Amino acid sequence: MTATADVRAELEQRLADLTARAGRIEAEIAAPMDADSEEQATEAADDTALAGEDALVLKEIAAVRAAIGRIDAGHYGQCLSCGADIAPARLAALPEATMCMDCAT
Ligand SMILES: [Zn+2]
């Protein structure tokens, strides 16, 4: 098994976790509101927070999917901006990184 295959397996696992999390968040948002109007205000505030969390999770899902796509296309670990190899330490910390440290900062 190559290192890239390991990374891919890790990303697949993360994608599954994230997808499950998004599903739970969306189910909670879709849950019917309480009849009590005071409860409704609390739930509306919760839903707003949940929607924000959902958006973050969806963004991460897209980033992880894109990273898997780059692995499959054979150019994983290359900076999308300058084409240089992204430092292994950076990829270890952020497997879905699309840019090298120089371009990202
Ligand atoms: Zn770069």
Residue whose tokens read 């992204």: 86
Confidence at residue 4, expressed as pLDDT on a 0 to 100 scale: 84
Clarify whether residues 68 and 97 are in a common domain: no
Residues measured by CB to lie within 5 Å of ligand 1, the ion = 79, 81-82, 84, 100, 103
pLDDT greater than 90 at residue 2:
no
- Three-state SS for 74-104 is CCCCECCCCCCECCHHHHHHCCCCCCCHHHH
Domain hosting residue 59, numbered range: 3-74
Q: What is the mean pLDDT of residues 3-27?
A: 94
CA 49 to ligand 1 centroid distance, Å: 35
pLDDT in tens, 25-75: 999 999 888 888 888 888 899 999 999 999 999 999 999 999 999 999 999
Clarify whether residues 40 and 55 are in a common domain: yes
Clarify whether residues 64 and 86 are in a common domain: no
Q: What is the mean pLDDT of residues 83-103?
A: 93
CA 38 to ligand 1 centroid distance, Å: 52
Number of domains making up the chain: 2
Indicate the DSSP class of residue 34.
P
CA 85 to ligand 1 centroid distance, Å: 8
Burial of 25 (0-12, 13-18, 19+ CB in 10 A): buried
